[in-house]
Amino acid sequence: MIKFLLTPFLLITSTVLVSLDINHIPIFVFLYSLFIIFGDLLLPRDHEVYDDDNKQLFDFFVMLPLPLLLIYLFVSSNVFYDKYLLNELSYYSVIGNIINLGLMLATAGTNAGHELIHRAKNSIQQKVGYWLLALNFDTAFVIEHLHGHHKFVGTYDDPATARYNENTYSFIIRSTIGTLRNAWVYEKSRLIRKKRNIFSFHNQLVSGLVKGLLIVFIVYLIGKEIGLLMYLLSVIVAKILLETVNYIEHYGLTREIGSPVLPKHSWNTNRWVSSNLLYNLSRHSAHHEKANVPYWKLNPYKDAPEMPLGYLSMVYIAILAPPVFKKIMESRVIKWRESI
């Protein structure tokens, strides 16, 4: 079960390396990207399912990223500021560190947060999830995901379902706008029904923004303008990664409104590295079947639609070579459509 400590391990290693020498980080990004790609290719599939005997430990594993991510963010902001004063920042180190922090915000922030927002309302786990998403200024994702995506997945009413042959970056823009719009409409309607001010802290978008601004303030105190700029650029990287994950999860899969959400409506993979680094997000069919089932109990459906590579490998391809991604998926989408 310690395999679920992969993400905390990357956070701890990132913090240590940025403290020792900021120039280590780009090399680290390259090496763990190779580990993800080749680990998914060469390691055996992971089909393990656990019971609740170690529930508290599993919960700890997925909540641990919050303090570790905050420590990494604050340490890297301070290091950036110090190196800036010493005129020791290079394009190489700046770009590498922004990408790495963005990757950590996405995997440890958005992904772990996604797992936790599905927990019991107002539980400590769900509150940790809200803070993890606030780190990315993406409380809108929480609202739309819980009240929109799971209801409308696979339909044109879901901004987070990628249409067949849709370009990665066109989808990112469409999904981002649609998520913000739907989240605002939902919160506005909810608060009007409850006769509460839509601009008050009862609005999750407002409270999430305040959480994010608090983090911005702390980053500014530690890293001044250069540390804050690094953080905000990393948030953009994390958002691109989140939306690309959304893009690959349901690419080209369709469902009629009102019909049940079935395992066939999500792309899956049981590749070892992607599964464990992402807290079994890649068992996506099981997640949509029962959204409240925790990550360690998700069913690794062997007959569900399957990606040819691990989730993270497919994300890299979708970002860096969108036409290649569409070419890889073309035959699989066609085969899926012929089977329904």
| Pair 115, 43: CB distance under 8 Å | no
Residues 56, 205: Cα–Cα separation, whole Å: 30
Q: Which pLDDT score, from 0 to 100, does residue 83 have? A: 95
Phi-psi category of residue 284: left, alpha or beta, with phi > 0 → left and psi -120 to 50 → alpha: alpha
| Residues 6 or more apart whose Cβ sits within 8 Å of residue 285 | 262, 263, 264, 265, 266, 268, 299, 301, 304, 305
- CB-side neighbour CA atoms (13 Å) of 262: 13
Number of domains in the chain: 1
CB 106 within 8 A of CB 123: no
> What pLDDT score was predicted for residue 77?
98
Q: Which pTM value belongs to this model?
A: 0.96
What tens-digit pLDDT sequence spans the chain (340 residues)?
899 999 999 999 999 999 999 999 999 999 999 999 999 999 999 999 999 999 999 999 999 999 999 999 999 999 999 999 999 999 999 999 999 999 999 999 999 999 999 998 889 999 999 999 999 999 999 999 999 999 999 999 999 999 999 999 999 999 999 999 999 999 999 999 999 999 999 999 999 999 999 999 999 999 999 999 999 999 999 999 999 999 999 999 999 988 999 999 999 999 999 999 999 999 999 999 999 999 999 999 988 999 999 999 999 999 999 999 999 999 999 999 998 7
55 Cβ partners below 8 Å, 6+ apart?
A: 294
Assign 217 to helix, strand or coil.
helix
Could you identify the residue written with the tokens 């390396």? 17
Rounded Cα gap, residues 201 and 208, in angstroms: 9
pLDDT at 69: 98
pLDDT of residue 340: 75
Sign of CA dihedral 203, 206, 208, 211: negative
Domain extent for 125: 2-45+53-339
